[in-house]
Amino acid sequence: MKHAGLLLCHECDLLQRRASCPHRGVLRCRRCGAELERDHTDSSRRSLALASGALVLFVISNLFPIVGLAVNGNLIRATLWGAVEVLYLDGMWPIAGLVFITTILMPATQIVTLLWLLVPLEFGRKPREANLVFRVMGVARTWGMTEVLILGLLIALVKLSHIATVVTGVALWSFGALMVVLAGTGAALDVPALWHRIAPTPEFGTWSGAARAARPRPDRGLTGAACGLALCPCCELIVRLPASGGALACPRCATPLHLRKAGSLSRTWAFLIASIVLYIPANVLPVMDTSSLFGTQKDTIMSGVVYLWVSGSWPLAVVVFIASIAVPMIKILGLGYLAASAQRASRWLPQERTRIYRMIELVGRWSMLDIYVVTMLVALVQFKALATIKAGPAAIAFGAVVVMTMFAASAFDPRLIWDPLERDHA
């Protein structure tokens, strides 16, 4: 059973009493439904075992070929690193860098940082530089996209099966296992419990102490902002900010704290406008150039969807259309709506707008699907005089759209959705 204290919702800022969390259950915010706490059984040891397994799978996935392509006795095998190298040598270094960061660097960082924290704790020691390492791990979890890579590989295999004989490699299966293990590692990790072992810090006050800091609203409860309390996004500690309203670093992990994200709306609009501008060339320019004995063909994202549809792979065509065309447009429209409504201090349907924000955060990374498909096709279809595939300029624009929309979602502060309701009841 969890000890008595307070919980502060990271999405609507509602301050709530901590109740005992049921076995393998979840505590949710009573106002917006956000997950506040989850019961984890033997979290540290499970996370350590899964992280150790993920390290082994990651090494295998990057040492062995993912897939091979056989044409007229020639067999070309591709590793993930080899695919990145081909893109770089073709002059597509922005895409090479993006693929390297999201499929190699960030998953490796996530695994290493988690082991850095858990291994010393297993032997009764405190990890060094835990605050910095934990923040780096948070970034790595956001930008690691192993699950999107797996789906991209499967779509690439379907396209390649129409060209030549496809030979699956060891790394394809180990990447699939790595995806499952990394997901399990993230689900097993209990952040507050881990930080309590690293740097025990008493929970902030009690409900009565918080209530004395500001007058509760009978119909809506009490918010962290009304009490001058902020939730650390890194270690989830509730911290009282100075009465002057200035910034403060978390006393446990040194993360800078604010009642609201600094310049949230202006940064959201900046990233959003950039993504709108880039969305046009991403869909108009060719994403892939194919050269063969029969001439040169330039394919856009939409023509790739049409190719999958007419070749009989309509389920994959639907997946690619949703991930590469519909999802970026939905993210842009959704973020624009959220930013505009927050700027106008709209009080309309806050729960529904919060759900839109969660959906945008959930689906944001899946737009990288087409980039991974192109990466694998470029790496494998290199038969010189017979056929070669190169990434087109739209790949760079599309990759930038994905990054900009993810930055925009990260910059937006969902608590701004609820602030106008608090001002009405002040």
Q: Taking Cα atoms as reference points, which of 243, 250, 148 lies closest to residue 198?
A: 250
Q: Output the pLDDT for position 308.
A: 76
- β-strand pairing of 35-38 with 14-17: unpaired
Phi and psi at 308, nearest 5°, equal -65, -40
DSSP at 322: I
Q: Output the pLDDT for position 249.
A: 83
Q: Output the pLDDT for position 203.
A: 55
What are the structural domain ranges in the chain? 6-39+201-228, 43-199+253-257, 263-426
Q: Output the pLDDT for position 293.
A: 52
Q: Output the pLDDT for position 220.
A: 53
In order of 124, 145, 410, the CA distances from 192 in angstroms are: 18, 25, 22
Q: Output the pLDDT for position 419.
A: 87
Q: Helices 369-380 & 301-310, crossing angle to 10 degrees?
A: 80
Positive or negative torsion for Cα 336, 337, 341, 342: negative
d(CA 140, CA 109): 6
Q: Output the pLDDT for position 237.
A: 85
Q: Output the pLDDT for position 382.
A: 66
Q: Output the pLDDT for position 407.
A: 94
Helix or strand (DSSP H, E) at 230: strand 229-231
Q: Taking Cα atoms as reference points, which of 216, 184, 172, 182 lies closest to residue 80?
A: 172
- What does each of the 426 residues of the chain score in pLDDT, given as a tens digit? 333 478 889 889 888 887 777 777 788 888 888 888 887 777 788 889 999 999 999 999 999 998 888 777 677 788 899 889 988 988 889 999 999 999 999 999 999 999 999 999 888 888 888 888 988 998 999 899 998 998 888 888 887 777 778 888 899 899 999 999 998 888 888 888 888 888 776 555 554 555 555 554 544 558 888 888 888 888 888 888 776 555 578 888 888 888 888 889 999 999 999 999 999 999 888 888 776 555 567 778 888 788 778 877 777 788 888 888 888 899 999 999 999 999 998 888 899 999 999 999 888 888 888 888 888 888 877 655 556 778 888 889 999 999 999 999 999 999 999 988 876 555
d(CA 259, CA 254): 16
Q: Output the pLDDT for position 4.
A: 45
Residue 129 neighbours by CB under 8 Å, 6+ apart: none
Given a contact cutoff of 8 angstroms between Cβ atoms, the answer to whether 166 and 68 are in contact is yes
Quote the tokens at residue 357. 């924000």
